[in-house]
Homo-oligomer: A and B are copies of this chain.
Amino acid sequence: MILGFDADDTLWHNEDGFQASHREFEQLLAEWADPETIDDQLFTIESRNLPRYGYGVKAYTLSMIECAIAVSGGQIGADAISTMLDLGHALLDRPIELLDGVEEVLDELGRHQLMIITKGDLYHQLLRIENSGLQHRFWQSEVVAHKDPSTYQRVLKLHGVAPEEFVMVGNSVPSDVLPVLAVGGRAVHIPYHVTWTHERHDGDHGAPTLNNMRELPDLLSDWGLH
């Protein structure tokens, strides 16, 4: 069996940093709009920029600046924009904090071939994998631009992995669960305590949901895979 792991919010904390940063962003714009208006505007701008920016901190920082100019009617000052650049730098420079149980469970699963399959900014994700101290535990690490069925098919084929021997573990239903089920693999959903608006998914998805990474080995045993 080959086990694929998402990285952000599956192996290490990520979205909580974005949300803390977002609270500071709301403060910077407090004289022009309430948090709800700011959130709506940022969501609209991020969605519009997604086809050209893709995902990641740089995309987020640029959309924040565009949103600040729009919400303030062009009144936002250079100091506040400088603070937004600093918020982006802080997210990029943030030290890796592993989620509870990750190291122990990777140790326990070490006799399987483990892969990281993560979406986002290539440069930043490789840096984080390197800084996580986990790199040597993984057989392969793939940073992809999209987590859609054709990307999973390409990555599995490239590494000679048959979908029926592949299990993907991740916190995002649209990115880590649904496209893997669609190509004939298995998926395990381990929600993170907060979810980015663009990754939210309601409704049943047909994969088991765990509370914590520590529950993974037992599930794999139940499946006869561990």
Chain A interface (Cβ < 8 Å from any Cβ of B) = 52-55, 58-59, 61-62, 65-66, 69, 72, 74-79, 81-82, 85, 88-89, 92-93, 121-124, 126-127, 143-145, 158
Q: How many angstroms from the CA of A81 to the CA of B79 in the assembled complex?
A: 12
Q: How many angstroms from the CA of A53 to the CA of B164 in the assembled complex?
A: 37
CB-CB < 8 A to A126: which residues of B? 145
For A123, give the chain B residue with the smallest CB separation. B54
Q: How many angstroms from the CA of A66 to the CA of B53 in the assembled complex?
A: 19
CB distance from A22 to the nearest CB of B (A): 18
CB-CB < 8 A to A53: which residues of B? 58, 92, 123
Known pairs A61-B62, A74-B78, A75-B78; list 9 more (Cβ under 8 Å).
A52-B124, A58-B58, A62-B88, A66-B82, A69-B85, A74-B77, A78-B81, A122-B122, A122-B144
For A58, give the chain B residue with the smallest CB separation. B58
> How many copies, total?
2
Q: Quick one: given A62-B88, A85-B66, A92-B53, are A143 and B122 in contact (CB under 8 Å)?
A: yes
For A159, give the chain B residue with the smallest CB separation. B158
Q: Quick one: given A54-B121, A54-B122, A122-B143, are A65 and B92 in contact (CB under 8 Å)?
A: no
- Identify which of B69, B75, B79 contacts A74 (C-beta below 8 A): B79
Q: How many angstroms from the CA of A126 to the CA of B76 in the assembled complex?
A: 34
CB-CB < 8 A to A59: which residues of B? 58
CB-CB < 8 A to A72: which residues of B? 78
Q: How many angstroms from the CA of A168 to the CA of B51 in the assembled complex?
A: 30
CB distance from A67 to the nearest CB of B (A): 11
Q: How many angstroms from the CA of A124 to the CA of B53 in the assembled complex?
A: 7
CB-CB < 8 A to A55: which residues of B? 123
CB distance from A74 to the nearest CB of B (A): 4
CB-CB < 8 A to A78: which residues of B? 69, 72, 74-77, 81
Q: Quick one: given A72-B78, A74-B79, are A93 and B61 in contact (CB under 8 Å)?
A: no
